[in-house]
Protein backbone atom coordinates (compact mmCIF):
# COMPACT_ATOMS: atom_id res chain seq x y z
CA UNK A 1 0.00 0.00 0.00
CA UNK A 2 2.88 2.40 0.86
CA UNK A 3 4.34 1.74 -2.62
CA UNK A 4 0.99 2.43 -4.23
CA UNK A 5 0.62 5.71 -2.35
CA UNK A 6 4.16 6.77 -3.29
CA UNK A 7 3.56 5.86 -6.94
CA UNK A 8 0.38 7.94 -6.96
CA UNK A 9 2.18 10.89 -5.36
CA UNK A 10 4.80 10.69 -8.11
CA UNK A 11 2.09 10.59 -10.81
CA UNK A 12 0.51 13.72 -9.32
CA UNK A 13 3.83 15.56 -8.83
CA UNK A 14 4.92 14.86 -12.39
CA UNK A 15 1.53 15.57 -13.99
CA UNK A 16 0.66 18.69 -15.96
CA UNK A 17 -2.31 20.67 -14.65
CA UNK A 18 -4.10 21.48 -17.92
CA UNK A 19 -7.23 23.14 -16.51
CA UNK A 20 -7.46 24.97 -13.19
CA UNK A 21 -10.42 25.29 -10.83
CA UNK A 22 -11.36 28.78 -12.06
CA UNK A 23 -11.53 27.57 -15.66
CA UNK A 24 -13.75 24.66 -14.61
CA UNK A 25 -15.99 27.03 -12.62
CA UNK A 26 -16.58 29.34 -15.56
CA UNK A 27 -17.23 26.40 -17.90
CA UNK A 28 -19.79 25.05 -15.40
CA UNK A 29 -21.45 28.47 -15.09
CA UNK A 30 -21.85 28.62 -18.86
CA UNK A 31 -23.21 25.07 -19.10
CA UNK A 32 -25.66 25.71 -16.26
CA UNK A 33 -27.01 28.79 -18.06
CA UNK A 34 -27.58 26.83 -21.27
CA UNK A 35 -29.18 23.94 -19.38
CA UNK A 36 -31.44 26.35 -17.50
CA UNK A 37 -32.59 27.96 -20.76
CA UNK A 38 -33.42 24.57 -22.27
CA UNK A 39 -34.75 22.55 -19.32
CA UNK A 40 -35.99 24.85 -16.54
CA UNK A 41 -39.66 24.27 -17.31
CA UNK A 42 -39.37 20.53 -18.07
CA UNK A 43 -38.82 19.02 -14.59
CA UNK A 44 -35.92 16.98 -15.99
CA UNK A 45 -34.56 13.78 -14.54
CA UNK A 46 -30.82 14.38 -14.04
CA UNK A 47 -28.78 11.20 -14.25
CA UNK A 48 -25.30 11.03 -12.75
CA UNK A 49 -23.05 8.46 -14.46
CA UNK A 50 -21.15 6.92 -11.55
CA UNK A 51 -18.37 7.13 -10.64
CA UNK A 52 -16.81 9.83 -12.81
CA UNK A 53 -20.01 11.85 -13.04
CA UNK A 54 -20.28 12.35 -9.28
CA UNK A 55 -18.16 15.50 -8.89
CA UNK A 56 -19.40 17.19 -12.12
CA UNK A 57 -23.04 16.38 -11.32
CA UNK A 58 -22.76 17.92 -7.85
CA UNK A 59 -21.06 21.01 -9.30
CA UNK A 60 -23.74 21.45 -11.95
CA UNK A 61 -26.64 20.80 -9.56
CA UNK A 62 -25.58 23.61 -7.25
CA UNK A 63 -25.86 25.98 -10.25
CA UNK A 64 -29.38 24.83 -11.24
CA UNK A 65 -32.20 26.42 -9.27
CA UNK A 66 -35.29 24.96 -10.98
CA UNK A 67 -37.27 21.82 -10.08
CA UNK A 68 -35.59 18.59 -11.15
CA UNK A 69 -35.15 15.01 -9.99
CA UNK A 70 -31.85 13.18 -9.51
CA UNK A 71 -30.96 9.54 -10.06
CA UNK A 72 -27.89 7.66 -11.27
CA UNK A 73 -26.58 4.84 -13.40
CA UNK A 74 -23.35 3.02 -12.73
CA UNK A 75 -21.63 1.91 -15.91
CA UNK A 76 -17.93 1.45 -16.52
CA UNK A 77 -15.80 0.80 -19.58
CA UNK A 78 -12.30 1.46 -18.22
CA UNK A 79 -12.40 0.06 -14.63
CA UNK A 80 -8.88 0.61 -13.24
CA UNK A 81 -7.33 0.70 -16.73
CA UNK A 82 -6.38 3.55 -19.06
CA UNK A 83 -7.88 1.80 -22.13
CA UNK A 84 -11.62 1.22 -22.47
CA UNK A 85 -13.23 -2.15 -23.27
CA UNK A 86 -16.85 -3.37 -23.13
CA UNK A 87 -19.29 -1.25 -21.14
CA UNK A 88 -20.37 -3.02 -17.92
CA UNK A 89 -23.65 -1.88 -16.34
CA UNK A 90 -23.47 -2.13 -12.55
CA UNK A 91 -26.66 -0.28 -11.62
CA UNK A 92 -29.82 1.03 -13.29
CA UNK A 93 -31.98 3.97 -12.14
CA UNK A 94 -35.08 3.37 -10.03
CA UNK A 95 -37.06 6.39 -11.31
CA UNK A 96 -39.79 5.95 -13.96
CA UNK A 97 -38.27 7.17 -17.23
CA UNK A 98 -41.05 7.08 -19.81
CA UNK A 99 -42.11 10.52 -21.10
CA UNK A 100 -39.37 12.26 -19.08
CA UNK A 101 -36.80 14.77 -20.26
CA UNK A 102 -33.52 13.24 -19.13
CA UNK A 103 -30.15 14.94 -18.70
CA UNK A 104 -27.19 12.54 -18.46
CA UNK A 105 -24.13 14.05 -16.73
CA UNK A 106 -20.65 12.57 -17.01
CA UNK A 107 -17.08 13.80 -16.53
CA UNK A 108 -15.56 13.07 -19.92
CA UNK A 109 -16.57 12.45 -23.52
CA UNK A 110 -13.58 10.46 -24.74
CA UNK A 111 -14.43 7.96 -27.48
CA UNK A 112 -18.08 8.39 -26.53
CA UNK A 113 -19.09 4.72 -26.32
CA UNK A 114 -20.22 5.10 -22.70
CA UNK A 115 -22.48 8.09 -23.31
CA UNK A 116 -23.85 6.71 -26.56
CA UNK A 117 -24.86 3.41 -24.92
CA UNK A 118 -26.43 5.17 -21.93
CA UNK A 119 -28.40 7.57 -24.15
CA UNK A 120 -29.63 4.62 -26.22
CA UNK A 121 -30.77 2.79 -23.09
CA UNK A 122 -32.80 5.81 -21.88
CA UNK A 123 -34.38 6.20 -25.32
CA UNK A 124 -35.35 2.52 -25.24
CA UNK A 125 -37.02 3.10 -21.84
CA UNK A 126 -39.30 5.72 -23.46
CA UNK A 127 -37.70 9.00 -22.38
CA UNK A 128 -39.18 11.89 -24.40
CA UNK A 129 -35.82 13.61 -24.82
CA UNK A 130 -32.34 12.61 -23.72
CA UNK A 131 -29.77 15.40 -23.31
CA UNK A 132 -26.17 14.89 -22.29
CA UNK A 133 -23.56 17.03 -20.54
CA UNK A 134 -19.85 16.44 -20.02
CA UNK A 135 -17.20 18.67 -18.50
CA UNK A 136 -14.45 17.54 -20.83
CA UNK A 137 -14.36 16.59 -24.49
CA UNK A 138 -11.07 14.93 -25.41
CA UNK A 139 -9.80 16.08 -28.80
CA UNK A 140 -9.10 13.20 -31.20
CA UNK A 141 -10.76 11.46 -34.12
CA UNK A 142 -11.61 8.09 -32.53
CA UNK A 143 -15.15 9.17 -31.57
CA UNK A 144 -18.60 7.67 -31.98
CA UNK A 145 -20.95 9.55 -34.28
CA UNK A 146 -22.50 11.96 -31.76
CA UNK A 147 -21.50 14.83 -29.46
CA UNK A 148 -22.86 15.85 -26.04
CA UNK A 149 -25.48 18.62 -26.03
CA UNK A 150 -23.49 20.55 -23.41
CA UNK A 151 -19.72 20.42 -23.06
CA UNK A 152 -17.49 22.47 -20.81
CA UNK A 153 -13.96 22.28 -22.16
CA UNK A 154 -12.03 20.72 -25.02
CA UNK A 155 -8.84 19.08 -23.78
CA UNK A 156 -5.89 17.56 -25.59
CA UNK A 157 -5.59 13.82 -26.20
CA UNK A 158 -3.79 12.68 -23.04
CA UNK A 159 -4.81 10.52 -20.07
CA UNK A 160 -6.58 12.90 -17.70
CA UNK A 161 -7.49 12.86 -14.02
CA UNK A 162 -9.16 15.14 -11.52
CA UNK A 163 -12.65 16.65 -11.21
CA UNK A 164 -14.31 13.23 -11.28
CA UNK A 165 -11.81 11.46 -13.54
CA UNK A 166 -9.57 8.84 -12.01
CA UNK A 167 -6.10 7.50 -12.56
CA UNK A 168 -6.23 3.87 -11.30
CA UNK A 169 -9.08 4.77 -8.97
CA UNK A 170 -7.39 7.85 -7.47
CA UNK A 171 -7.59 11.63 -7.85
CA UNK A 172 -11.31 12.06 -8.63
CA UNK A 173 -11.26 14.59 -5.77
CA UNK A 174 -8.83 17.08 -7.36
CA UNK A 175 -10.23 20.52 -8.20
CA UNK A 176 -8.23 20.85 -11.44
CA UNK A 177 -7.79 18.57 -14.46
CA UNK A 178 -4.35 17.00 -14.85
CA UNK A 179 -2.63 14.90 -17.53
CA UNK A 180 -0.33 11.99 -16.72
CA UNK A 181 3.28 12.70 -17.71
CA UNK A 182 4.06 11.15 -21.08
CA UNK A 183 0.48 9.88 -21.68
O1 LIG B 1 -16.13 8.18 -23.91
P2 LIG B 1 -15.61 6.88 -23.41
O3 LIG B 1 -14.36 6.45 -24.14
O4 LIG B 1 -16.64 5.80 -23.35
O5 LIG B 1 -15.08 7.13 -21.92
C6 LIG B 1 -15.77 7.94 -21.02
C7 LIG B 1 -16.19 7.18 -19.81
O8 LIG B 1 -15.04 6.61 -19.17
C9 LIG B 1 -15.04 6.97 -17.80
O10 LIG B 1 -15.71 6.02 -17.03
P11 LIG B 1 -15.00 4.68 -16.51
O12 LIG B 1 -15.38 3.54 -17.38
O13 LIG B 1 -13.54 4.93 -16.31
O14 LIG B 1 -15.69 4.48 -15.11
P15 LIG B 1 -15.71 5.53 -13.91
O16 LIG B 1 -16.82 6.51 -14.21
O17 LIG B 1 -16.00 4.72 -12.70
O18 LIG B 1 -14.36 6.22 -13.87
C19 LIG B 1 -15.78 8.28 -17.76
O20 LIG B 1 -16.31 8.54 -16.48
C21 LIG B 1 -16.84 8.11 -18.81
O22 LIG B 1 -18.01 7.51 -18.27
O1 LIG C 1 -8.59 10.40 -19.90
C2 LIG C 1 -9.33 9.79 -19.11
N3 LIG C 1 -9.13 9.83 -17.77
C4 LIG C 1 -9.92 9.18 -16.88
N5 LIG C 1 -10.95 8.44 -17.23
C6 LIG C 1 -11.22 8.36 -18.56
N7 LIG C 1 -12.20 7.68 -19.17
C8 LIG C 1 -12.05 7.90 -20.47
N9 LIG C 1 -10.98 8.69 -20.73
C10 LIG C 1 -10.44 9.00 -19.53
Nearest ligand 2 atom, CA 165 = 4
Q: 77-98, pLDDT tens digit by residue?
A: 988 888 888 899 999 999 999 9
The pLDDT of residue 81 is: 84
ipTM of the assembly?
0.98
Q: Give the CATH class of 2-179.
A: alpha beta
Taking CB atoms within 8 Å and a gap of at least 24, the contacts of 145-152 are 146/112, 146/115, 146/116, 146/119, 147/109, 147/112, 148/109, 148/115, 149/38, 150/31, 150/34, 150/35, 151/31, 151/109, 152/24, 152/27, 152/28, 152/30, 152/31
- 72 CA to centre of ligand 1 in angstroms: 14
- Tell me: cis bond preceding 137? Omega within 30 of 0 counts: no
Per-residue pLDDT at 183 exceeds 90: no
Q: Which protein residue has the closest C-alpha to ligand 2 atom 8?
A: 110
As for ligand 2, residues whose beta carbon falls within 6 Å of it are 78, 108, 110, 159-161, 165-166
Instruction: Assign 167 a pLDDT band (cuts: 50, 70, 90).
Output: very high
Buried-exposed string 28-39: b where 16+ CB fall within 10 A, e elsewhere: beebbeebeebb
The pLDDT of residue 31 is: 98
The candidate with the shortest Cα–Cα distance to 5, out of 171, 161, 172, 182, is 171
Count CA within 13 A, CB hemisphere, residue 13. Answer: 6
The pLDDT of residue 97 is: 98
Q: 23-82, pLDDT tens digit by residue?
A: 999 999 999 999 999 999 999 999 999 999 999 999 999 999 999 999 999 999 988 888
pTM over 0.95: yes
Work out the number of other CB atoms within 10 angstroms of the CB of residue 151: 17
Amino acid sequence: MINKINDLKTILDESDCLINAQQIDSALDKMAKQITTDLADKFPLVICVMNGGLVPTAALLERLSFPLELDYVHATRYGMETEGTTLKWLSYPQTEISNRDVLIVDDIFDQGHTLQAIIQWFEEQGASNVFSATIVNKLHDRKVDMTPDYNGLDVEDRFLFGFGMDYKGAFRNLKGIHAVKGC
